[in-house]
Homo-oligomer: A and B are copies of this chain.
Amino acid sequence: MAKEFVKDITSMDEDFAQWYTDVVTKADLIDYSSVRGSMIIRPYGYALWENIKNELDHRIKETGHENVYMPLFIPESLLQKEKDHIEGFAPEVAWVTHGGSEELTERWCVRPTSEVLFCEHYKNIIHSYRDLPKLYNQWANVVRWEKTTRPFLRTLEFLWQEGHTCHATDEEAHDETKRMLEVYADVCENILAIPVIKGQKTEKEKFAGAKFTYTIESLMHDGKALQSGTSHHLGDGFAKAFGIQFTDQAGNLQYVQQTSWGFTTRIIGAMIMVHGDDRGLVMPPKVAPTQVMIVPIAQHKEGVLDFAYELKDRLSKSVRVEIDASDKKPGWKFNEYEMKGIPLRLEVGPKDIEKGQVILARRDTGEKIIVSMEELDEKLNQILDDIQKNIFQKASKHREERTSIASNLDHLKNNLETKPGFVKAMWCGNRECEDKVKEETGATSRCMPFEQEAVSDKCVCCGVTANQMVYWAKAY
């Protein structure tokens, strides 16, 4: 019976990739265009991004940062100033060679990230310790010339915020790197209901040009990991390349210590793959563009639509509520808004009006709840809170079930095959072992978690003494 309604969505277990594509298109989050690898973010998808953006922007401002806007283009010579950085990004940038009919004397790339633009600006405006810290952020589009792309997860162009800060000391920069990772973790866990592992990237996986990179990693329904936000301590590498110096309180010239950190539309992909099910999307109430959808029952009967619209007006003071009063059948509407992941459906028909009640249907559990009109406002908020908590717990439980321990390579490989997910295993710190794990198992080091455990005393790969625990996983 359920199957009948959701015939358009491939089952998750059958083909997870196809399920994902079905969901993002049929739930009207995105559309494709003739621009390869780019997506059209449709009203429902963009409203979701606006809600996520507002939550994050608020926190970015609250922690003392200011928004700015940098140019879209970067002249090739500017991009080349920091060596590791250009090496990391050159293969994947789009190059502008002509303006109108004229060929440019120097190629410009479309920003893949804006470190070098911020650095050039910082050199102009930072002179004394009084000018520090500088805590800037920008909301922007960036471009990376990816070969294979998937909506939200890997697109040629994506939307993000990138924070760029300058500090007087290494310690302050370190604190900032940590602070912003915590902000990202807060948004993931408390707003998007996505549990994350916080940790540090290995040298191999760190950002091009960084001293080190902190990351939050989350686990999708299919057992693959997704990097959900990164925060980089840049040290003074960029400062030296760009000559960003300040006079400290003692009168000495010093290089600034920098950080950068970013959070992207990719997180929408994570949200979909963490909470979704065979019926479609499941939106966390805190970011759901519509939290409650009113579906009038027997709406042709006198008084039903008036009642439903009045109810909508009343509820709109405390929740994001919509009504579908179209002439489509209730069954179609139920299916449609379940597919779109709207947390609560509110049914109201002649009998309910008579009894002074409505019926609520939870998207996460399918449970139907009869609520009296008097209690409705209070109950709605209570249930939305409960849904938010429930889907977080569900995701946490799934991650727990999909997290295993391995003490050697065979063990690791076996775990990844039988129960795809995170595998905790020790690592000696050598790049060779990291490479070999990837080669043999397809898993990459996701992070060295801040919360370490000695799950063994030997490297999972070479067997020498090791005291670093790493989360390994196949990843998006």
A residues contacting B by CB (< 8 A) are 31, 33-35, 38-43, 46-47, 49-50, 66-75, 77-78, 90-101, 107-108, 110, 117, 120-121, 124-125, 136, 140-141, 143, 145, 156-157, 159
- Contact between A96 and B95, CB atoms less than 8 A apart: yes
- Contact between B110 and A110, CB atoms less than 8 A apart: yes
- Contact between B100 and A34, CB atoms less than 8 A apart: no
A108 to B97, CA, bound (A): 11
Residue of B nearest to A92 (CB): B100
- A44 nearest CB across to chain B (Å): 9
- A47 nearest CB across to chain B (Å): 7
A91 to B99, CA, bound (A): 8
Q: A33-B71, A33-B120 are in contact. Are A94 and B99 (CB under 8 A)?
A: yes
- A97 nearest CB across to chain B (Å): 5
- Contact between B34 and A75, CB atoms less than 8 A apart: yes
A136 to B42, CA, bound (A): 9
Q: A35-B75, A91-B101, A92-B100 are in contact. Are A67 and B50 (CB under 8 A)?
A: yes
A100 to B96, CA, bound (A): 11
Tallying the copies of this chain within the complex gives: 2
- Contact between A117 and B73, CB atoms less than 8 A apart: no
Beyond A69-B159, A91-B101, A93-B100, 5 additional pairs, beta carbon < 8 A: A38-B71, A38-B73, A46-B68, A71-B157, A91-B100
- Contact between A97 and B98, CB atoms less than 8 A apart: yes
- Contact between A143 and B72, CB atoms less than 8 A apart: yes
- Contact between B68 and A99, CB atoms less than 8 A apart: no
Residue of B nearest to A75 (CB): B34
Which B residues are in CB contact (< 8 Å) with A157? 71-73
Q: A47-B67, A93-B100 are in contact. Are A72 and B34 (CB under 8 A)?
A: no
A74 to B140, CA, bound (A): 18
Which B residues are in CB contact (< 8 Å) with A43? 66-68, 136
A125 to B143, CA, bound (A): 26
Q: A67-B50, A69-B41, A157-B71 are in contact. Are A100 and B33 (CB under 8 A)?
A: no
A143 to B94, CA, bound (A): 15
A34 to B98, CA, bound (A): 17
Residue of B nearest to A96 (CB): B94
List, sorted by A's number, 20 A–B pairs whose CB atoms are closer than 8 Å: A31-B121, A31-B124, A33-B71, A33-B120, A34-B75, A34-B120, A35-B108, A40-B68, A40-B71, A46-B66, A71-B157, A72-B157, A92-B99, A94-B108, A95-B96, A95-B98, A96-B110, A97-B98, A99-B145, A141-B141
- A434 nearest CB across to chain B (Å): 25
Which B residues are in CB contact (< 8 Å) with A110? 72, 96, 110
The 10 A-B residue pairs whose C-beta atoms are closest, nearest first, are A38-B71, A43-B66, A99-B145, A41-B69, A95-B98, A35-B71, A97-B97, A91-B100, A94-B96, A100-B145
A125 to B108, CA, bound (A): 35
Which B residues are in CB contact (< 8 Å) with A124? 31
Which B residues are in CB contact (< 8 Å) with A41? 68-69
A141 to B99, CA, bound (A): 17
- Contact between B121 and A40, CB atoms less than 8 A apart: yes
- Contact between B92 and A69, CB atoms less than 8 A apart: no
Which B residues are in CB contact (< 8 Å) with A35? 71, 73-75, 78, 108, 117
- A165 nearest CB across to chain B (Å): 13
Which B residues are in CB contact (< 8 Å) with A125? 31
Which B residues are in CB contact (< 8 Å) with A92? 99-100
- A39 nearest CB across to chain B (Å): 7
Q: A91-B101, A100-B91, A121-B33 are in contact. Are A42 and B68 (CB under 8 A)?
A: yes
Which B residues are in CB contact (< 8 Å) with A107? 98
Which B residues are in CB contact (< 8 Å) with A34? 75, 77-78, 120
A329 to B390, CA, bound (A): 57
A348 to B50, CA, bound (A): 40
Which B residues are in CB contact (< 8 Å) with A50? 67
- Contact between B90 and A94, CB atoms less than 8 A apart: no
- Contact between B67 and A40, CB atoms less than 8 A apart: no
Which B residues are in CB contact (< 8 Å) with A39? 71
